[in-house]
Amino acid sequence: MNRLEHEHWWFVSRRNIIETVLRTKVQSLGPHSQILDAGCGTGGNLDLLSSLGCDVTGLEMEPEAAEIARSKSGKAVYIGSLPDEIPFSDESFDLIVLLDVLEHIEDDMGALSSLAAKLKSGGHLLITVPAFSFLWSSHDESHHHKRRYRLNQLDRKMRHCNLHPKYASYFNTWLFPMIALVRLLHKKLRFLHKTDDLSMPSPFLNHLLMSVMSSERHILKHGKLPFGVSIMAIGQKL
């Protein structure tokens, strides 16, 4: 996973998109701002968040992953889990990022409420989640996902947890037809060999897919995309 987070087209493209959206949609961050990467894994996004010029902290439930994140980033990474084991005081952070974590949590509303409590007034929560239940596949099962979301579902949950939706869009749109076709074929033709979406492709294909998906950041900088394999949303605590 450590190598995948740094080289796989999906992780790299997601970082490119997140950086663009954060720099254009969350402009209140400064040198003294506090950022939490909740569910940081092996720390693949900590350097990106640090590049915003803020103090960055990680939260991870797996001790081994947390240790890798600490060693390669030099950041403080705490052990904890959502929704109940968050070792920080309320109103501690200006920005919390929750990147493809919420779909793993049974009590997703509880997780959102707990993270909202850790935000300062006016602080932001950036979330990415997988989209559309009809795209459910063996990938979701092998990664222990509980659900996939629609934009209006995530909007309602955020509002219920005192997070005012400030920006939301689908992404991974250009590759949506190909991914949807492959997943639907796997459902219809059950004899097809199950593959992991996060297996490392050839260098040429990896670069091609990275270029295609990363190009969406130019649209997301000023607008939104109407559908996609994933959702990104920013909620502000009022």
Give tens-digit pLDDT for 79-91.
Answer: 999 999 999 999 9
Q: pLDDT tens digit string along 157-181?
A: 999 999 999 999 999 999 999 999 9
- Would you kindly state where each structural domain of the chain is located, as residue ranges? 2-237
Beta strand segments in 40-113, E: 55-60, 76-79, 93-99
Nearest-angstrom CA–CA distance, 172 and 37: 21
Nearest-angstrom CA–CA distance, 165 and 183: 30
Residue bearing tokens 């602080």: 123
The backbone torsions φ and ψ at residue 102, rounded to the nearest 5 degrees and listed phi first, read -60, -35
Share of the chain above pLDDT 90, in %: 86
By mean pLDDT, which of 37-51, 180-194, 198-212 is the weakest?
180-194
Helix and strand counts by DSSP (H, E) for the chain: 10, 7
Sequence-separated (6 or more) residues with CB below 8 Å from residue 141: none
Nearest-angstrom CA–CA distance, 188 and 231: 26
Domain 2-237 has CATH 3.40.50.150: yes
pLDDT of residue 66: 98
Q: Quick one: CA dihedral 45, 216, 147, 163, positive or negative?
A: positive
CA 176 vs CA 104, 129, 228: distances in Å: 22, 15, 6
CB atoms < 10 A from the CB of 73, how many?
Answer: 21
**R_g (Cα) of the chain, nearest Å:** 17
This model's pTM is above 0.85: yes
Nearest-angstrom CA–CA distance, 223 and 36: 26
